[in-house]
Amino acid sequence: MKAIRYHEFGSTEVLRQEEVDQPVPGAGEVLVKVAATSFNPVDDHIRLGVLAEMIPTALPITPGLDISGTVAELGDGVNGLQVGDPVIAMFPLDQHGGAAEYAVVAAGLVTAAPRSITLTDAASLPLTGLAARQAAVELAGIKAGQTVLVNGAGGAVGSLVVQLAVEAGATVTAVDGPQHADRLTGYGAKVLGPLHLDAGPAAVGGPFDVVVNHVRLGAEDLAKLTPYVADGGIVVSSAGPVPGDETRAVRTAGVWVRPDGSHLAELVSRIDSGVLELHIADRRPLAELQAVHQDAGNGKLLGKTVIVVA
C-alpha cells in the first residue's frame, strides 16, 4: 500500500512516499481503509524530534494522528462494528498511521463517523475535538452563567471551545484576528481583536471565570494571563503553562489530548445535531503532505488542513 513515512527525525525532507505492506489487525483492533487524515501542529513537533523524550515513538513513523475511513477488516473479539462502516478515530500520541491507504487502530478508539458531513472532512474532528472537549468540559468544567475568555479562538481547537462554552450557557468572549470575526460571532461569542496583555482584563470586560489559551507565548506573557482570571476561577492552556494564583484561588491546567472513543462519539452527536460546526481551511492530497508540513513550519498554513488519502 502507499504510505508517507519518515525513518529519522528532522526537516520536512525526511518525509518520503513508500510502498509498504498492508497492516493486519490483531485482537481488539480494526483495519481502516483511510479516506483522510489531517495535519495537527504536534505532527510537526514529533517529526522534528523535539518531543522524542516526552513521547517515545518507534521509527519509522507514518504521520497522522487522525483518521476517517471505512472498516476493512475486524480483529478477533471486536464487536459493534461491521466491514464497510464509516468511522473516525484518533491514535495515541505515541502511535500514528493516518498518512497511508490503510491503518490499524484499537477498536475502543473508533466511533461512527458523522452523518452530516463528508467522510473526508470528518478527519478534522478527532484530535481537535477531543482537545477542545478536554479544555472546556473536563478541565474548565464550563457551566451556565459563567464568563469565558478564549484566546486564539479562531483556530481549530479554539473554535470548538467557543462553541462548547456557548452550548453550556456561558457568556463567551472570543479573541483572535479580524478574519475570524464573522464566524466567531455566528457561534454566539462576543468577538475582540488580538489580546493586548498589558492592557489588563478590564480592557476586554474581565476578569473571567474561565480563561482558555491557545496562543503560544513566552513564559513572561503567559504569566500576564493570570490576572485575567477572576478569584476562584481557572485558566486552561494548550500552548504552555499559565501560573495559578493561590492567594486568589486561581487554578491552572494544561491540555494533554488523549484518544477516547466514547468522548469522540459525544462530539459526533453534537456535529450531527448542529450544535458544533467544523471549520476547515484547506483540503490537500496526500502527495502534498511534505508541502503542508513546510507551510506549517513557515507560518503559511491557513488553518485546519485535511489530507485527502482516497
Task: Give a yes or no: residue 103 inside a domain.
Answer: yes
Which residue intervals of the chain are DSSP H helices? 41-48, 126-133, 156-168, 181-186, 219-223, 261-272, 289-297
Per-residue pLDDT tens over the stretch 38-97: 999 999 999 999 999 999 999 999 999 999 999 999 999 999 999 999 999 999 999 999
Per-residue pLDDT tens over the stretch 105-131: 999 999 999 999 999 999 999 999 999
Whether 80 and 137 map to the same domain: the answer is no
Whether 155 and 231 map to the same domain: the answer is yes
Q: What is the mean pLDDT of the chain?
A: 97
Whether 286 and 225 map to the same domain: the answer is no
Whether 143 and 187 map to the same domain: the answer is yes
Please give the torsion angle defined by the CA atoms of residues 182, 183, 188 and 194, in that order, rounded to the nearest 10 degrees: -70
Give the chain's domain count.
Answer: 2
- How far, in Å, are 80, 147, 168, 204, 249 from residue 228 at the CA level? 46, 11, 21, 9, 13
Whether 118 and 212 map to the same domain: the answer is no
300 Cβ contact list (under 8 Å, min separation 6): none
Domain housing 301: 2-125+278-308
Whether 168 and 88 map to the same domain: the answer is no
Task: Give a yes or no: residue 240 inside a domain.
Answer: yes
CATH of the domain at 17: 3.90.180.10
Per-residue pLDDT tens over the stretch 219-250: 999 999 999 999 999 999 999 999 999 999 99
Task: Give a yes or no: residue 29 inside a domain.
Answer: yes
284 pLDDT higher than 90: yes
Percentage of residues of the chain with pLDDT beyond 70: 100
Whether 79 and 147 map to the same domain: the answer is no
Distance CA 127, CA 257 (A): 7
Percentage of residues of the chain with pLDDT beyond 90: 98
Whether 180 and 112 map to the same domain: the answer is no
Report strand pairing: 86-90 vs 102-106: unpaired
- pLDDT for res 302: 86
Task: Give a yes or no: residue 226 inside a domain.
Answer: yes
| Mean pLDDT of the region 302-308 | 95
Find out whether 115 and 272 touch, Cβ atoms under 8 Å. Answer: yes
